[in-house]
Amino acid sequence: MRKKTNCHYCGNKLTERLSDERLRLYCEHCNEPVYENPVPATCIVTIDETERVLLVKRNIEPKKGFWCLPGGFIELGENPDGGALRELKEETGLEGKIEMLIGVTSSPSSQYDTVLMVGYLVKSYSGILCTGYDASEAEWFNYTELPEIAFKSHLMFIRIYYASYSTHII
């Protein structure tokens, strides 16, 4: 992860100080610590009528070439569920309806240190499956034939779905 070097308010060079028992980046000019937090992202477990899960092949780093759930970072002013459905549409062409929240977890990130990952379930959707700019392929998979999944958090949500909510016995 790239460390911040300058204050994003005044541009002053940052130092480090112990604050609330954590070594934090500190701006001497603003006289304030620079708080760093997980970056919120969403992903969607989309399930078809034969209980297959929809995956996309990543076209961008990190984990380019690996399969993962459709999803991405929440934009400013966006609700988490709205952001998740936007990403689903962008990456797969499908318009979905959120069925339920599967869970929320923290996940390590090479770019942002920690990502807060929100996982939703979609079982009703419309549209024709196609791929967008940050996915090179989109495909339905049986749970027993999953490829390697790019992110542990995504795999966790897929497993929770099949273990607790799937109508199929696996």
Comparison of 26 and 151: residue with beta carbon closer to Zn ion:
26
Minimum CB separation of residue 3 from Zn ion in Å reads 16
| Token pair for 75 | 């934009």
Q: For residues 20 and 26, what is the distance between their CA atoms, to the nearest angstrom? A: 13
Strand order in the sheet with 71-73: 71-73, 39-46, 113-126, 95-109
Residues in Cβ contact with 160 at an 8 Å cutoff, skipping those fewer than 6 apart: 102, 103, 119
Minimum CB separation of residue 77 from Zn ion in Å reads 25
Q: Can you tell me which residue has the tokens 């379930």?
A: 121
| Site for Zn ion, rule CB under 5 A | 7, 9-10, 12, 27, 29-30
Comparison of 33 and 96: residue with beta carbon closer to Zn ion:
33
Task: Let me know if 61 is a catalytic residue.
Answer: no
Q: Which of these is catalytic: 137, 139, 145, 148?
A: 137
Comparison of 2 and 8: residue with beta carbon closer to Zn ion:
8
Comparison of 7 and 55: residue with beta carbon closer to Zn ion:
7
Q: For residues 13 and 53, what is the distance between their CA atoms, to the nearest angstrom? A: 47
Minimum CB separation of residue 164 from Zn ion in Å reads 47
Q: Which amino acid, residue 125?
A: Y
Whose CB is nearest to Zn ion? Answer: 7
Minimum CB separation of residue 117 from Zn ion in Å reads 30
Residues in Cβ contact with 94 at an 8 Å cutoff, skipping those fewer than 6 apart: 46, 54, 88, 125, 126, 127, 129
Q: Which residues are catalytic?
A: 137
